[in-house]
């Protein structure tokens, strides 16, 4: 993400990176296991386990969001939930996102943050 330059591009790189996990067959297998584990963790009482497991993922967005004068504690989980939700859909339907899917989601995320495409 750091190589992406300015913060909006970093967020787009994060979205692309997450969805890239379901574009490759081997990576998709690993991602499917992770998503299943996260789902089970969240279903077992809602004691913050899922938040704890997702913290390293959402922390990758924190600095970019801060530079855009956004609150990473609020917007970070929203961006992660939306992007990981799309990832889950691709995993469970055993399909890979097309480039247009990835770019459309990235644009949607930025607009949700009140930002334009870079």
pLDDT tens string 22-79? 887 666 666 666 666 666 555 444 555 556 767 888 899 999 999 999 999 999 999 9
In the chain, the number of structural domains is: 1
User: How confident is the model over 70-90, as pLDDT tens digits?
Assistant: 999 999 999 999 998 998 888
Whether 97 is in a domain gets the answer yes
Q: How far apart are CA 54 and CA 80, in angstroms?
A: 8
Whether 117 is in a domain gets the answer no
Whether 63 is in a domain gets the answer yes
């Amino acid at each position: 993400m750091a190589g992406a330059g300015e913060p909006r591009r970093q967020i787009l790189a994060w979205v692309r990176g997450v969805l890239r996990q379901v574009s490759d067959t081997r990576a998709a297998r690993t991602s499917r296991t992770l998503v299943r584990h996260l789902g089970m963790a969240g279903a077992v009482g809602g004691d913050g386990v899922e938040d704890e497991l997702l913290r390293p993922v959402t922390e990758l967005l924190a600095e970019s969001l801060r530079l855009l004068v956004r609150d990473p504690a609020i917007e970070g989980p929203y961006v992660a939930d939306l992007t990981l939700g799309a990832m889950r859909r691709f995993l469970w339907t055993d399909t890979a996102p097309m480039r247009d899917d990835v770019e459309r989601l990235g644009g949607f995320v930025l607009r949700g943050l009140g930002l334009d495409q870079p």
